Structure 1
Amino acid sequence: MIEYYASCPKGLEQLLAEEITQLGGEFKRETIGGIWFLGGLSVAYRVCLWSRLANKVLLPLVKSSVANDKDLYELIASVPWEDHLSPNGRLWVDFAGTNRFIRNSQFGALKVKDAIVDRIRDRFGVRPSVDKENPNLIINVRLSKGKATVSIDLSGDSLHRRGYRLRQGFAPLKENLAAALLYRCRWPEIAADDGALLDPMCGSGTILIEAAMMAADIAPGLKRSSFAFEHWLNHSNDVWLELREQAQERINLDKIPEIRGYDFNRTVLEAAEFNIAQAGLIGKVRVTAKPLAAFKKPTHKPIDTGLVLTNPPYGERLGDLEQLIPLYRQLGTSLREEFVGWKAGVFTGNPDAAKNMGLRSNKKYKLYNGSIETELLLFDVNETQFVNAPAPEHILTRPSDPYKVTEGAKMLINRLAKNKKQLGKWLKKNDIECYRVYDADMPEYSAAVDIYGDHVHIQEYQAPKSVDEEKVKQRFNDIVAAVKQELQGDESKISIKQRRRNKGKQQYERLNERADRRELMVVEEGGAKFEINLWDYLDTGLFLDHRPVRLKIRELAHGKKFLNLFCYTATASVHAAIGGAKETVSVDLSNTYINWSKRNFELNRLVSKNHRFEQADCVQWLNECREGFDLILLDPPSFSNSKKTETVLDIQRDHVSMINRCMDLLLPGGLLIFSNNLRSFKLDESSLSHFEIEDYTKKSLDPDFARNQKIHNCWLIRNK
């Protein structure tokens, strides 16, 4: 019997232990984020192929105390790596953890690599190579509390990546977390009784697809291109092929009951349809564009029972609690009116909002969606569980309209009309559909008003503390009333983001009465298409003030290699690619923005291996980069201390070192475009005097931002 370790998202340990036991493993012990189990090689293969919950399957080789880098080297060198990797093989080291002497993972990984390579070279006279993309062996090393655990990674890429989800929406749910929700809701038993599964806010369809795969007995690992153990020296291919063949024989698509998903957002439904096709489930899983208010039981055939399972938006996406209440009320109303006798599961990061559903949950499970603490609430939908249910007609209404046309609003209407007229010829000449029409032109009415096609985006600036809060509210209501009167009578096409004091991180309210609205839009800029979201985030996905900079990059990019640091949604990279850049690299710490960037490239049919996306801490990535570039855009935030990284960025303090590092990466004749939005920013020209610096700020502002020339700073920097 061999001892293995399987990792999983925090909160799934018990479920994983039960699953691995069913797969033939012998449970040994549980840790936070994983379990230890015993079994033969075939059990490890079976877990890799069949586990719906695990992230990794590791084969531990040795564990020992490590005080410094010398101890680490000696520990690694003591392992008989020649039993696992051929002398001319390829390896990759996955290292995590630090101590006083090993201060970052890159240094730790280097020491591990050196020890392995030296041992094999000393014995055979030939050394293995390092290859991240196609290694024969992945070595996993975890340094914690003074001890290093050295393992062989048998799975390779995380097991939650099944191979079908090639497209995704915002805040996607990982496949193994979706599977855990289904297990907790007892979906396998419901499916066996021919019960249906419905998801009224299905996004890119992960819950639906995982449910269908469970019902049809499809092994989640069958669609993966490969596992790490397939290249391992001790791999038993006969055992593996037999397990795969058995898994193929077990598939029975006829066992899939009714599975349907709905979403208001047609863009994410296109992603869902694509993923459903990739999973081989066309005709078995169906999705339809439908708002939550229209969510009802399907009528095409009698469906007596089933499960409603959904992952509604919560605080990280929509903001304040009070703005989520209508959504949860509507969900509760639909369940009470349409699904009596059914089971329901609501996976939420905002349990307080869920209390407005008018239903009493019969069970709760604490889970984690990434770093967000969440709850899965389970419901038996019957009258005995109905509590404090509001009348349906009051669910999505307001007692009165606060946005009346006052004298102040009339002045704003005149200003909006004047600005529109002044910009009219320029907009038409340059075919611009996204622009700023008002930017706190009247200081007492402090907000930005932006036009996105036929939609309007209103964003309030923070008022001084000396201004009475009630007066701030009234002035903002005047702004909204003026916009409704002059720019857009259809309130459903107005996105309102209003600052309120003392709200901590959630300083914006989302005031649209349609709290379930998550429609995305596609807009054009200079022939490029971009996906924007006016509703769910502080920013929309397109910084309008940087329009001239993006077009400048497009003009300069032909035949160039372009680097976009802090790329956000990679709109500048899209322009570079359209302009003929031979290669683009877009770097951002946020996985949400990296996925958004990829969709922007897909919108413009620019999918290519020459366009690369790196989800990484930009400062760390920049310091480790060894590539050369012809054109670099450095547009960092003013300040950043994300929980995802130990790096604290202060652009005033750090800009000299960042610029110097970018200039190191510039190829001869290259150009750095440095920009930031810190109004108090001062460029340290004396420390950068060895470069040729051109202040490009005025040239980088179009007429719609001429009223506020402090919106950003911009310089063109070249080596002398």
Structure 2
Amino acid sequence: MSDLTTTGGASSQAETAEQADRAGRAERAEQGLEFFATCPKGFEHLLADELSAQGVPRVRALRGQVGFGGGLEDAYRACLWSRMASRVTLVLARVDATSSDALYEGMSHIPWQDHVPAGATIAVEAHGTNAALRNTQFTAVRAKDAIVDVILARRGTRPMVDVRHADVSVAVRVSRERATVGIDLSGAPLFRRGYEAARSGRAPIAPLRPDYAAALLAAGGWYRSVRHGSPVLASVYDGAGSLLVEAAAQALDRAPGLLRTHWGFEGWGGHDHVLWEKVLGEAHERAEAAAGARVVLLAHDTRPGAETAARHALRAAGMDVEPTFVDAGEMATRLGRACASGEPLVAMDLSWLDEGAVAAEAAAMSECVAAAAGVAGKAATVVALAKDAALDSALGREADGTIDVLVGQDDAAIRTFDAAGLPREHASVGVTEPGGRQVSVPVLVDASDQFVRRLQKVWRLRRKWAEREDVSCYRIYDADLPDYSVSIDLFQGSELMPARGGRGRWLQVYEYAAPRSVDATLARRRLLDVLAIAPHVIGVAPENVFVRVRTHGKGGSQYAAESRDQRGQAGGQGRGRRDGGRPGRRPGDGRVLLPRGAHLVDEGGLTFEVNFDTRLDCGIFLDHRETRSLVREMMKKTVGSKRFLNLFAYTGTATCYAADGGAKHTTTVDMSRPSLEWARRNMERNGFVSKMRPPEHEYVQADVLAWVQEQRHSKNRWDLIFCDVPTFSNSSRMRGSWDVQRDHAELVIGISRLLTRNGSAIFSCNLRGFKPDVEKLQRAGVSLEDITAETIPEDFQRNAKIHHCYIVRRTA
């Protein structure tokens, strides 16, 4: 009997506990709890509107977050349905944070045993600082101590800490003298929708984060289009599909959290599983009911791999929607028709444009203007995420509204335009493409039609000259119009490496830094027009246009650009690092590997590697085309040991010409190890590989100035020396600084002492006002013969001072 009584009593107690637990959960679900949803800067009011539209009560926008009240069901809905929130946190208490002890004391009054189930792991994340709590890691540890001590006192066991996969995550936010303590209900950030994992880590385009895509759509009023039925979205640069996925999800009434497999509240002691299943079930029912909804997704993105990335994102997100990819002109036509029956939204992600990506920006602005032409003057909205106001200039109107945000560490803004106020006509110029097709190119400066006429004229003349002379890489335009102060060089791919559909073609555009008297905004608009026009005139894909600005860089020459790549590498002072026998990396068939981003071009019967992505200069100086040919011819006439020395060698193009002229031994000296490796690849690609010991072709990493002085005291002498010096350098890897006007005489004298009895050297520099110290050189027994005029190629005749060139000989 006693056994039955005991059993019945235990059962009754268990039922009572379960009923109490159920009652407590129901009370928490219905009572007025407090929550806050964090979000990126600038999203606060957009997020507040979103939560209000979901029926969440007591919503108020704060700084970096939105507060709201209600029960657990409201919090669950916010977690599942919010597209712009980063996390949702249940507020447990606000405690004193005037010291670490006060924080510990305040947190010790929270009944943590109710929130952390037996056996559950915990983690604490702290944000914010004040005068007493200056280190968030220390704050988190002190808060964790309070939680552990409370649970230890109540249960006699300590909960384990797991910072990576905790069952219960506690958030502590310090602000002034108070700290807000809460339970993170989200787990992983809510912008991790669940489909991102399916994206390839090697995707060519960085995706726009889903919450930013959602904010862009919200600012553009996409929800209104969805509510009115048959919505039309035209996406120009779609963030690798993020804009399309978010737009389709809203149109198909799919909660953004449906693909998530884990939530922060699942291990929390106050979690109501039944209530969550109800909220989740309703979301699935809504998605099923809207599965047949119609949405039109138009997309235009000229970046390689963009269409594939977008379609893959839609499939990974489970969206049975097919976007239509069209060119900008076709998009404008379709948008014009869509305006007759509704108000389409044109959304543009321009956040991928970096400050230095001027060529990409010019092409993007042109595409955006062409696409937006379809809604200009009509009932529609254009919205863009951009890091500057360039789009305002391109569209011919200031944005009607802006929301300041951050993209990474960069300032940006969501810019909205009422399409009814956009001008129907934009300034444009007519361009004849190489195939004879006439196109209209939008421009920012009306006078750019003069640039079109000039470029078309010089391109026609230069192309005929190049074909006649069998030159494939040459200068087309060189500041022919003072207002359009740029140079444009064309590079055509090597015949050894035909590209798909023909040889590759690239444009290298150098902008000469405008004087302070020229309005910087006007100068940039002119540059953008140049970059929009030149690809059409010359027939080069916009993505194959590269821009550099010619300024006096710290460190001088190529070394300033390379210094970032040389951290931790020896500077090569004094005697230098010799490397003659080690071949470049080769695949199994013996070919020389081509680095990522590099291309091959031909010149003078030789093949050279160029790279437009990594530095100011691409690897070959076109103005020295004739100089390199002179090196080859002089080498052919050299008798005796036929030894060649290349100083400040850069990528070793002159060394290749010397070897082609019969040099039996070459020495290539430069302070930059990447340049020397590049020079080796150029030599090996042209068949000049060392096969003996000591090697016929050696590469020395050294400070050239110090190295020359050391070689004067050795027995090493050369029959022909080529020295193309930088104008200025103060590289930390040099002994002191270098100024060509100030220091050239000592260097030339040193070079002359390295010549054989009948040897000669070619000395070159690109300081426009350079004047050699002839008297000092004569006193040292050195003669100079000015050969500048005969070394300036036809395509550089407009800029006859592009370089100075001299033959150096010893007279004593």
TM-score, length of structure 1 as denominator length: 0.58
Which residue does 1:233 correspond to in 2?
A: 269
Contact residue 230 and residue 295 of structure 2 kept, 8 A: yes
Query: How many angstroms does 1:348 deviate by?
Result: 4.0
Matches of 2:44 and 2:335 in 1, distance apart? 39
CA contact (8 A) 2:38 2:85 kept: yes
Distance (whole Å) between structure 1 residues aligned to residue 214 and residue 300 of structure 2 = 19
One-letter amino acid of the structure 1 residue matched with residue 221 of structure 2:
R
Q: 1:514 to 1:81 in 2, by over 3 A?
A: farther
- 1:23 match: 54
Q: Does 1:57 align with 2:88?
A: yes
1:274 maps to what in 2? 312
Q: Is there any run of 5+ residues in structure 1 with no aligned partner, and where?
A: 421-436, 439-444, 446-467, 518-532, 553-574, 579-598, 601-694, 715-720
Whichever residue aligns with residue 170 of structure 2, its letter is I
Q: Does 1:181 align with 2:234?
A: no
Deviates more, 1:228-237 or 1:21-30: 21-30
Amino acid across the alignment from 2:234 = L
Residues 317-345 of structure 1, C-alpha deviations (whole Å, 9 max, x = no match): 25488984664355334433577645132
Partners of 1:20 and 1:51 within 8 A in 2: yes
| Conserved? CA contact 1:201–1:261, under 8 Å | yes
Cα separation, 2, equivalents of 1:516 and 1:141? 55
Q: Deviations over 1:481-527 (max 9, x none)?
A: 374699999896335465737789x999776437999xxxxxxxxxx
**1:155 Cα offset (Å):** 1.1
Separation of aligned partners in 2, 1:405 and 1:328 = 26
Match among 109, 130, 144 for residue 113 of structure 1: 144
Letter in 1 for 2:126: F
Report whether the alignment pairs 1:389 with 2:420: no
The correspondence for 1:70, drawn from 76, 101, 108, is 101
Q: For residues 516 and 309 of structure 1, what CA distance do their matches in structure 2 show?
A: 26
When residues 326 and 696 of structure 1 are mapped into structure 2, their CA distance, relative to the original with a 3 A threshold, is: closer
Which residue is 2:715 aligned to?
none
Residue 81 (structure 1) shift: 1.4
**Aligned counterparts, 1:380-529, within 5 A:** 380-381=419-420, 385-386=422-423, 389-391=426-428, 393-395=440-442, 398-400=451-453, 477=487, 480-481=488-489, 483=491, 493-496=506-509, 498=511, 500=513, 512-513=531-532
Distance 1:515 1:134 in 2: 54
> How far 1:227 sits from its partner (Å)?
1.3
Take 2:73 and 2:219, find their aligned partners in 1: how far apart are those partners?
A: 27
Shift of residue 136, structure 1, vs aligned partner: 0.8
Q: Cα offset for 1:374? A: 0.8
Shift of 1:368: 1.2
Counterpart residue number, 1:351 = 389
Q: Is the 8 A contact 1:318 1:537 kept in 2?
A: no
CA distance in 2, matches of 1:261, 1:210: 14
d(CA) in 2 for partners of 1:6, 1:257: 30
Q: Which deviates further from its counterpart, 167-176 or 134-143? A: 167-176
Residue 144 in structure 1 maps to residue 175 in structure 2 = yes
Q: What one-letter code is carried by the residue in structure 2 that aligns with 1:395?
A: P
Measured against aligned partners, the alpha-carbon deviations of 1:325-376 in whole angstroms (never above 9, x if no partner) come to 6643553344335776451323143235323314676x41424143523132
State the alpha-carbon separation in 2 of the partners of residues 341 and 473 from structure 1. Answer: 35
1:654-693 superposed matches below 5 A: none
Residues 345 and 386 of structure 1, relative CA distance in 2, 3 Å threshold: same
Fraction of identical pairs, as percent:
25
Q: Distance between the aligned counterparts of 1:537 and 1:6, measured in 2?
A: 43
Q: Please give the secondary structure, in 1, of the residue aligned with 2:58.
A: strand
**2:243 maps to 1:224:** no
Aligned partners of 1:698 and 1:709 also within 8 Å:
no
SS at 1:60 equivalent: strand
1:451 corresponds to: none
Contact persistence 2:231–2:294 (CA under 8 A): no
Secondary structure in 2 aligned to 1:159? coil
C-alpha distance 54-127 of structure 1, shift in aligned 2 (>3 A): same
For 1:376, the aligned partner's letter is R
- Higher mean displacement: 310-319 or 222-231: 310-319
Which stretches in structure 2 are left out of the alignment for 5+ residues? 1-31, 430-439, 444-448, 537-542, 550-559, 570-584, 588-595, 598-670, 683-698, 704-728, 734-812
The answer as to 2:405 corresponding to 1:368 is yes
Query: TM-score scaled to structure 2, two decimals?
Result: 0.52
Following the alignment from structure 1 to structure 2, what is the Cα–Cα distance between the partners of residues 327 and 158?
Answer: 31
- Structure 1 residues 115, 50: CA separation in 2 closer, same or farther (over 3 Å shift)? same
Residue equivalent to 2:286: 250
C-alpha contact 1:95 1:106 (8 A) present in aligned 2: yes
- Deviation at 1:273? 1.4
Deviation at 1:57, TM superposition (A): 1.0
Contact 1:321 1:353 in 2 (8 A): no
Within 2, Cα distance between the matches of 1:45 and 1:187? 24
- Quote the Cα distance in structure 1 between the aligned partners of 2:345 and 2:372: 8
- The change in CA–CA distance for 1:514 and 1:47 in structure 2 (over 3 A counts) is farther
Alignment deviations for residues 117-139 of structure 1 (CA, whole Å, 9 cap, x no partner)? 23323433322222233211111
- Of 235-244 and 93-102, the range deviating more from structure 2: 93-102
Q: Any idea what the Cα deviations from partners look like across 1:250-292, whole Å, max 9, x if unmatched? A: 111211321122211232322211110011113x13153x554
Give, in whole Å, the separation in 2 of the partners of 1:176 and 1:263: 20
- Report if aligned partners of 1:162, 1:224 keep a CA contact under 8 Å in 2: yes
Would the aligned equivalents of 2:366 and 2:532 in 1 still touch at CA under 8 Å? Answer: no
For 1:186, the aligned partner's letter is G
| CA RMSD of superposed structures (Å) | 5.3
Alignment of 1:544-563 (within 5 A): none
C-alpha separation between the residues in 1 aligned to 2:483 and 2:398?
39
1:162 aligned residue: 193
Deviations 1:575-632 (A, max 9, x none): 9xx9xxxxxxxxxxxxxxxxxxxx99xxxxxxxxxxxxxxxxxxxxxxxxxxxxxxxx
Counterpart position of 1:199: 235
Cα deviation per residue 1:641-664 (whole Å; 9 max; x = unaligned)?
A: xxxxxxxxxxxxxxxxxxxxxxxx
Counterpart of 2:302 (choices 264, 271, 295) is 264
Change (3 A) 1:266 1:109: same
2:156 aligned residue: 125
Alignment of structure 1 residues 500-649 onto 2, 5 Å:
500=513, 512-513=531-532
User: In the alignment, does 2:110 pair up with 1:79?
Assistant: yes
| Alpha-carbon distance in 2 for matches of 1:358, 1:405 | 31
| Secondary structure of residue in 2 paired with 1:109 | helix
Q: What letter matches 1:242 in structure 2? A: K
AA matched with 1:159: L
1:314–1:324 Cα contact (<8 Å) kept: no
**8 Å CA contact retained: 2:151, 2:157:** yes
Name the residue aligned to 1:38. 69
Contact 1:67 1:146 in 2 (8 A): yes
Task: Name the aligned partner's letter for residue 237 of structure 1.
Answer: H
Task: Give the Cα separation in 2 of the matches to 1:365 and 1:316.
Answer: 18
Counterpart amino acid of residue 296 in structure 2: E
Aligned residues: 505
- In structure 2, give the amino acid aligned to 1:236: D
Larger Rg: 2
Matches within 5 A, 1:259-338: 259-282=297-320, 284-288=321-325, 290-292=326-328, 295-298=331-334, 304-313=341-350, 317=354, 319=356, 324=361, 327-328=364-365, 330-337=367-374
Counterpart of 1:220 in 2: which secondary structure? coil
- Of stretches 389-398 and 229-238 in structure 1, the one that deviates more from structure 2 is 389-398
